[in-house]
Amino acid sequence: MTQFNQLEAWVMSTYQRLERLDVPVFDTTIEREVLPLQESYEMAQLKMLSTDLPAECMSISDYLQGKHSVNSTLNDTSAKLSLLFRYLASPMRYEPFNENPVHKAVPSARCMYPLTFIMIVNDNNKPQAYKYCPDFHALQVIDAPFSTDDTHSKNSVSILCIGNIWKAAEKYGEFGHFPCVLESGHAFSQLHLLLGMLDWKATSSDFDIHTGHQFCHSVVDTPLFSVGIDVGENFSSSVEDILNINQLRHVTVRLPTVLENKGLAERFDRLGNMQSIFSAGEFLSPVADSRNNTLENLRVGAKGLLDTLRSRQSGNDRSGMSPVVQNLPTDQLEQILNLFNALRARRGVCAEEELLSFNFAWLADSGAQPGLYDEFGTSLAVDISAQELKQKIQNILPYKMMRYNTSAMTLVCFITTEPLDAIHDLGESAFRNMHISAGAAAQDLSVAAASLGMFSRPVRMMREERVEQALPVKGHVLYQVLCGFNRRHNLTFEVL
Ligand SMILES: Cc1cc2nc3c(=O)[nH]c(=O)nc-3n(C[C@H](O)[C@H](O)[C@H](O)COP(=O)(O)O)c2cc1C
C-alpha cells in the first residue's frame, strides 16, 4: 500500500488528483470498466415512519428568529422523527428523464447516496440501534454492537452518520472519500436545521468515533459524525416512549441491498491510506449555540421553510445546467449573503468551520457589481474587468462540453481553508472535519439560494488551480457552489 500523510493527501486532492490518483471517471485516455455494485437482499424488521406529514410548518423568517412551529401534527414525536428523516435522507423528487432520476433534499454527487444514518437510542443503559431505510421511509431494527458503560449517559438519542465509501469508489476510485465526506457535511447542516425547526436541541453525542467504527462493515466504511438530540423531556419515561417508536407499524420485509465488490482496496492502491486519514482523530465538535436572528432587509421571510428545502436543486439538466439570464433586484447578492450568514448562525457553527474562508464571485450584470466579495459583501479588489472575471471562471469548468452557459452565470462561491493551519489546529482530525465543515456551509448556501428561486450546484471536480492562479482566494479550494437561475424542462414528480 502506498504510504502518505495528511498534508500529502491534501496535495493529491488538488488538481494533481488528475495525475496522481487513480479515478476511473477522470480517466479519459482509456476505456475503464466501472463495476456495478452487487445486489442482494436481507430479511429485515422495519418500523414504518408515517408519510402523512405536513407540507409546511413555518416560514423561513420564523425559523431564523427561533420561533416555534404551530403545526399541531408535530406535537407527536414520531411525526417529528418522520419529518427529520424525510428531509435528511429520503427520496423527494423523481426526474425520470434525468441522467440521475432520484433526488433528495440534500445533494449527492451523481446521486450515489453513500451515507447511512443510524439512530442510537440508549434507554436506561440499554442501547438500541435503528438504521434509516430511505426507500421504505422506515427504521430498521439492528443490533447495537456495543454495551454502554460509565462514560455514557444513562439515556440519550444520537444520530450517527457512516460514509459507505465503496459506493462511490467504483467510479471515484482513490478519490472516493472526497464526495462522500463533503456530502456528509450537507447532511450535518441539514440535520441541525431540522432539529432547530422541530424544537429539538442538538447536543454533543454520547457516542464517539470508536463507537462509529463498530457499525462499519467494510474496510472503507468511515464514521463521519454523530450528533446528540435533546428530545426535551427529563427522561422520566423511556426514550423509546418519548419518541413513540413502539407505536410505529412493525413489518418484516425482504429488503434489497447493494454490497461492496470484493477486492476494492487491492484495485485502488491509495484507497486504504485515504481511509486511515479520513477516519483518524475525533468527530467534529458540537456546534456553538444557535443564534436567533434579528432580520433586517430580508425579502424571503414569508416563504415556507419545508417548501424551500423541497425546492433545493442543482440545476440538473441531464449532463449539466442550463442557466438563464435574469434581471435581478440590485440587492440580490446582499440578500443571498444575509441569508447565508443568518442560516449558519441559526443552525450553530462548530469550531472547525471557523477555519474556512468564503469568496463569492458575482458574475451577473444585475444584482450587484460583477466582482469578488467576501461573505459580508465587502468587495475584494481584483484588478480585472467583469469580462475577464467571467472568462477566468469559465476556465474552471472541467470540460468544454459541460452545458453551463457562462453568459448567464450568476454566482460562484469558493470555500477554502489553509491546510497547514487546519492541521496545526485540529491535528489528525483536520482532513475529515474540514471537508465536513465545507459541505455544511455549502448546504446553507444552497438553502439560501433555493429561497430566492435559484439552483445551487456544489462542485468538487473543477479545475480549481485556475481559480487559485487567477483570483486572490486564500488557501486551498475545498469546495465550490455554482448558483443561478435555470430552465427546468425536466419532468419532475414530488415523492411521498
Ligand atoms: C460532494 C458533491 C460533489 C459534487 N461534484 C460535482 C461536480 O464536480 N460537478 C457537477 O457537475 N456536479 C457535482 N455535484 C452535483 C451533483 O451531481 C448533484 O447534486 C446531483 O446530481 C443531485 O442533484 P440535486 O442536487 O438536484 O438533487 C456534486 C455534489 C456533491 C454533493
The residue whose CA is least distant from atom 5 of ligand 1 is 459
Q: What is the 166 CA–ligand 1 centroid distance (Å)?
A: 18
Euclidean distance between CA atoms 247 and 496, whole angstroms: 21
Q: What is the pLDDT of residue 452?
A: 95
The residue whose CA is least distant from atom 15 of ligand 1 is 109
84 contacts: CB under 8 Å, gap ≥ 6: 191, 194, 195, 198
List the grid coordinates of 94: 423523481
Euclidean distance between CA atoms 399 and 375, whole angstroms: 29
Q: What is the pLDDT of residue 369?
A: 94
Question: Which atom of ligand 1 is least distant from the CA of 100?
Answer: 21
Beta bridge pairs of residue 359: 414
The residue whose CA is least distant from atom 16 of ligand 1 is 109
Q: What is the 481 CA–ligand 1 centroid distance (Å)?
A: 10
Query: What is the strand order of the sheet 249-259 is part of?
Result: 201-204, 221-230, 156-164, 115-123, 126-133, 138-142, 38-48, 249-259
Residues 111-145: tens digit of each pLDDT? 999 999 999 999 888 999 999 999 999 999 999 88
With a cut of 60, say whether residue 319 has pLDDT above it: no
Pocket (CB within 6 angstroms of ligand 1): 100, 103, 107-111, 179, 182-183, 313-314, 316, 457-461
Q: What is the pLDDT of residue 148?
A: 83
Closest CA to 464 of 481, 477, 474: 477
The residue whose CA is least distant from atom 12 of ligand 1 is 459
Let me know the angle formed at the C-alpha of 447 by 180 and 358, rounded to the nearest 5 degrees. 70
Best probe residue, ligand 1, of 25, 97, 106, 108 (max atoms within 8 Å of C-beta): 108
Instruction: Provide, rounded to the nearest whole percent, the portion of the chain with pLDDT above 90.
Output: 69
Taking the CA atoms of residue 439, residue 445, residue 451 and residue 456 in that order, the dihedral angle to the nearest 10 degrees is -70
Fold topology of 6-278: NADH Oxidase (3.40.109)
Best probe residue, ligand 1, of 186, 435, 457 (max atoms within 8 Å of C-beta): 457
Residues 401-439: tens digit of each pLDDT? 565 566 678 999 999 999 999 999 999 999 999 999 999
With a cut of 90, say whether residue 297 has pLDDT above it: no
As a whole number, mean pLDDT of residues 158-171 equals 97
Q: What is the 282 CA–ligand 1 centroid distance (Å)?
A: 27
With a cut of 90, say whether residue 312 has pLDDT above it: yes
Euclidean distance between CA atoms 395 and 479, whole angstroms: 16
List the grid coordinates of 389: 472575471
The residue whose CA is least distant from atom 8 of ligand 1 is 461
**Position 313 confidence tier, pLDDT thresholds 50, 70, 90:** very high
Specify the CATH class of 305-494 in words.
alpha beta
Residues 321-331: tens digit of each pLDDT? 778 888 999 99
| Cβ contact 87:194 at 8 Å | yes
The residue whose CA is least distant from atom 28 of ligand 1 is 109
Euclidean distance between CA atoms 473 and 462, whole angstroms: 15
Euclidean distance between CA atoms 486 and 496, whole angstroms: 25
DSSP per-residue letters across 317-345: -SSS--B------TTHHHHHHHHHHHHHH
Q: What is the 232 CA–ligand 1 centroid distance (Å)?
A: 36
Q: What is the 250 CA–ligand 1 centroid distance (Å)?
A: 35
Q: How far is CA 296 from CA 66, 292, 342, 463, in A?
A: 15, 13, 11, 37
Instruction: Provide, rounded to the nearest whole percent, the portion of the chain with pLDDT above 70.
Output: 96
- Residue 388: DSSP 8-state: H
Q: What is the pLDDT of residue 202?
A: 95
**Position 391 confidence tier, pLDDT thresholds 50, 70, 90:** confident
pTM greater than 0.75: yes
Average pLDDT over the chain, rounded to an integer: 91
In 50-125, at which residue ranges do the beta strands (DSSP E only) sit? 91-94, 102-104, 115-123
**Position 2 confidence tier, pLDDT thresholds 50, 70, 90:** low
With a cut of 70, say whether residue 234 has pLDDT above it: no
Euclidean distance between CA atoms 182 and 436, whole angstroms: 5
* Domain assignments of the chain as residue spans, ordered by start: 6-278, 305-494
Core vs surface per residue 91-112: b (16+ CB within 10 A) or e = bbbebeebeebbbbbbbbbebb
Residues 73-103: tens digit of each pLDDT? 788 899 999 999 999 999 999 999 888 899 9
Question: Which atom of ligand 1 is least distant from the CA of 461?
Answer: 8
Give the DSSP H/E element, type plus range, for residue 312.
none
Closest CA to 288 of 206, 204, 209: 204
**Position 184 confidence tier, pLDDT thresholds 50, 70, 90:** very high
Beta bridge pairs of residue 459: 480
Q: What is the 381 CA–ligand 1 centroid distance (Å)?
A: 30
DSSP per-residue letters across 423-475: HHHHGGGHHHHHHHHHHHHHHHHHHHHHHTT-EEEEESSS-HHHHHHHS---S
| Dihedral sign, Cα of residue 470, residue 354, residue 228, residue 282 | positive
Give the DSSP H/E element, type plus range, for residue 407.
none
Higher pLDDT, 242 or 342: 342
What is the CB-side half-sphere exposure of residue 218 using CA atoms within 13 A?
Answer: 23
Q: Is-same-fold flag (6-278; 305-494)?
A: yes
Q: What is the 151 CA–ligand 1 centroid distance (Å)?
A: 39
Euclidean distance between CA atoms 162 and 220, whole angstroms: 10
Q: What is the pLDDT of residue 402?
A: 60
List the grid coordinates of 291: 443564534
The residue whose CA is least distant from atom 21 of ligand 1 is 110
Q: What is the pLDDT of residue 280?
A: 97
Q: What is the 372 CA–ligand 1 centroid distance (Å)?
A: 23
**Position 155 confidence tier, pLDDT thresholds 50, 70, 90:** confident
Higher pLDDT, 335 or 34: 335
As a whole number, mean pLDDT of residues 196-218 equals 94
Euclidean distance between CA atoms 439 and 434, whole angstroms: 9
Question: Which atom of ligand 1 is least distant from the CA of 315?
Answer: 26
Euclidean distance between CA atoms 327 and 313, whole angstroms: 21
Residues 343-352: tens digit of each pLDDT? 999 999 999 9
As a whole number, mean pLDDT of residues 11-38 equals 85
Q: What is the 322 CA–ligand 1 centroid distance (Å)?
A: 15
Euclidean distance between CA atoms 145 and 86, whole angstroms: 26
With a cut of 80, say whether residue 483 has pLDDT above it: yes
Q: What is the 185 CA–ligand 1 centroid distance (Å)?
A: 13
Question: Which atom of ligand 1 is least distant from the CA of 186?
Answer: 31
| Cβ contact 113:167 at 8 Å | yes
Least confident of 164-173, 252-261, 313-322: 313-322
With a cut of 80, say whether residue 152 has pLDDT above it: yes
Maximal C-alpha separation, the chain: 65
Q: What is the 457 CA–ligand 1 centroid distance (Å)?
A: 6
49 contacts: CB under 8 Å, gap ≥ 6: 78, 81, 82, 85, 86, 137, 138, 139, 248
Give the DSSP H/E element, type plus range, for residue 294.
none
Q: What is the 100 CA–ligand 1 centroid distance (Å)?
A: 10
With a cut of 80, say whether residue 209 has pLDDT above it: yes
Question: Which atom of ligand 1 is least distant from the CA of 455?
Answer: 26
Question: Which atom of ligand 1 is least distant from the CA of 103?
Answer: 27
